[in-house]
Amino acid sequence: MNWNLLNAEEAEIAWINLNRWVNWLRNTYGLPASIVPPFWYRHPELVWELSSLHLHWLCAYDPDQHGSAPFGWHRDFEDARQRLHDWVSSSGTRLDRDRATRKTAWPGEPVADPVDDVLIANRDADFVQFIVDDVTSRRDAKAAFYANHEPSDP
């Protein structure tokens, strides 16, 4: 799945499905917040990793897949857990608060804005608002694209 190419409706469905699967994953495998934090959806590096892991899981457990495919998924899951842990460590997200992942400005770029921790009391409400904002942003981008492009003359 390429999150950059999803329209608003596709993204909304993808967010809900991924969130459901991530909740299943963390509960099934007893994963701590140091591997799958509650605010994973606010960090693109975690979204991409978890999306890839989800797609891999769907393929591994497809009824038409070879019977040993789940073993491959579990091998890759071990590697993914280490990457997730590393990204959670560098991102600053925690169990009850979140901080945007710090970005390093390269020479000639504007200095990155400072990032502060934000206390989030209700994870589910924050996730719903995140989806609403993402879907709205995608719809606005589509509308702006079409507003700036005149139809071709026949």
pLDDT for 119: 93
Is 64 in contact with 52 (CB distance < 8 Å)?
no
What is the bridge-based pairing of β-strands 97-98 and 118-119? antiparallel
pTM, to two decimals: 0.89
Expressed in angstroms, the distance from the first to the final Cα of the chain is 36
Q: Percent of the chain beyond pLDDT 70?
A: 97
Helix (H, G, I), strand (E, B) or coil at 98: strand
- Per-residue pLDDT of 70-107, as tens digits, reads 999 999 999 999 999 999 999 889 898 999 888 889 99
Picking from 98, 87, 122, the residue whose alpha carbon sits closest to that of residue 42 is 98
Q: What residue segments make up the domains of the chain, in order of their start?
A: 16-101+113-139
- Per-residue pLDDT of 117-150, as tens digits, reads 999 999 999 999 999 999 999 999 988 888 887 6
pLDDT for 42: 96
Q: How far apart are CA 93 and CA 99, in angstroms?
A: 5
Mean local confidence (pLDDT), 56-73: 94
> Tokens 């719903």 appear where?
128
Q: Which amino acid is at 76?
A: D
pLDDT for 148: 82
> Between residues 61 and 115, which one has the greater pLDDT?
61
